[in-house]
Structure 1
């Protein structure tokens, strides 16, 4: 279980998050919704350790946890970025296996075997040898998810996973997220789409701009 207690974050004197509290249960899906500028992505970046809050505490499994400093962050929290951040010069397989080999020190065979299993689960096996420019938006999204899963995270975060997709692909991405829940992964989803959030979530956190 992940708890956020009194998380506060400001930029250039403007408070974005103010004493925010939320509890994310294991094997659940939390969606963070709200208008642009309300702090959705800022909150996600703090959870992932990409930004440090000004104050507040993270509690993971009843123990204090600092996402920005933990040496286990790569395995505890994974992130699927809005623009996918795939390496254009690497194939799908190379994108998925790079970090496990470099960070987790997996052998090439182990990394490939793990990647093959993940790609099969996400219906990407036939695309393993392709490069990102050869893929559709939905395929790139699934590759980004596969790359994050290859790091074996306890918690997987998504920043606007449907924003770059056609409406027809939104439900497919939602189904991927629901399927991953069955594997025991806790998921946190930032989305501008309340309907999408309602369809996939166990819990919805609505953040609002702080009155000046």
Structure 2
């Protein structure tokens, strides 16, 4: 369980996040919704350790936790970025196995076996040796999810996972996120897509821009 207590973040004297209190329950989906500029992505960046907070506290399973300074954060909180951030010069398999071998120190054999299992799980078993440019947008999205899952995170975060997808692919991503919840994976989804958020959410946080 992840708890946020009094999380505040400012940029240039402007308060973006103001005293956010939140509990993310294990095995559930939290969606964060709101208009552009409301701080959705900033909150996700703070949770994932990509940005530090000005004040407040994070608790992970009841213990103080600082995402921005935790050396093993990649194995605690995974992030699926809006633009996927796949390495264009690496195959799908190499994209998935790079971090487990370098950060988790998995053997190449174990990392490859895990990659094959996860790729098959998300219907990408025949894409392992392709490069990102050979994939559709929906396939890139799924590879990004597999890459995050390969690190065995306690929490998986998504930044606008449906923003560039057509309705069919949107439904596909929705099904994947719900399936992962059914497997016990805790997830946080930042989105401007309210119907999508309502369809997957166990909890929903609405954020509004600060004046």
Q: Is 1:169 matched up with 2:142?
A: no
- TM norm structure 1: 0.98
What residue number does 2:42 align with?
Answer: 42
Alignment of 1:140-179 (within 5 A): 140-179=140-179
In the TM superposition, residue 166 of structure 1 has moved relative to its aligned partner by 1.1
How many Å separate the matches in 2 of 1:123 and 1:44?
27
Q: How does 1:49-88 map to 2 (within 5 A)?
A: 49-88=49-88
Aligned residue number for residue 134 of structure 1 = 134
Q: How many equivalent pairs are there?
A: 211
**1:101 aligned residue:** 101
Partner of 2:2: 2
Deviation, 1:72, is 2.3
Secondary structure in structure 1 of the residue aligned to 2:126: helix
Unaligned segments of structure 2, at least 5 residues: none
CA distance in 2: counterparts of 1:131 and 1:70, whole angstroms? 31
Supply the distance in 1 between the matched residues of 2:27 and 2:201 (Cα, whole angstroms): 11
Runs of 4+ more than 2 Å apart: none
Cα RMSD after superposing both structures: 0.6
Counterpart position of 2:12: 12
Per-residue Cα deviation, 1:113-143 (whole angstroms, up to 9, x for no partner)? 0001100100000111100000000000000
- Partner in structure 1 of residue 28 of structure 2: 28
SS at match of 1:157: strand
Once residues 74 and 89 of structure 1 are traced to their aligned partners in structure 2, the CA distance between those partners, rounded to angstroms, is 22
Q: Quote the Cα distance in structure 2 between the aligned partners of 1:148 and 1:59.
A: 22
Cα distance between partner residues in 2 of 1:153 and 1:46: 16
Q: Secondary structure at the match of 1:125?
A: coil
Q: What's 1:203 paired with?
A: 203
Distance of 2:101 and 2:61 partners within structure 1: 28
- Structure 1 residue 203 displacement after superposition: 0.4
Give SS of 2:43's match: helix
